[in-house]
Amino acid sequence: VFQAMAKQGFYFINGTEKVKYVLRYIYNREHYATFDSDVGRYVGFNPFGERCAKRWNSDPDTLEYRRAAVDTYCRQNYEGMTPFITERR
């Protein structure tokens, strides 16, 4: 049985002042590539991941889409979830 998955996460520091978007690619429990909005490009962690990252980094549309995820996904979701997260008593 083979398993492939992508996990994305948002990290907020001081509200929406500093937002970090991380997308991780995993195959058979091995993390092979990631996109980090602080770095601004894909990074591979093994030979397969390096080939994938090189291909994804060569496509400007893919990079622009991932870089824009900070504004389209992260900040938008933070503003909607803030009342439920911060104002619980």
- In this structure, what CATH number is given to the domain that contains residue 25? 3.10.320.10
Domain count of the chain? 1
DSSP string, 61-75: HHHHHHHHHIIIIII
Q: Would the pLDDT of 4 be above 80?
A: yes
**Residues shown for the chain:** 89
What is the mean pLDDT of the segment spanning 47-61?
94
User: What was the pLDDT predicted at 20?
Assistant: 85
DSSP bridge pairs for 22:
9, 36
Residue 29: give the domain boundaries.
Answer: 4-86
Question: If we measure between CA atoms, which residue out of 56, 62, 57, 71 comes closest to residue 19?
Answer: 71
Residue 64 confidence (pLDDT):
92
Q: What predicted TM-score, i.e. pTM, was given to this entire model?
A: 0.76
pLDDT tens string 62-86: 899 888 888 777 766 666 666 555 5
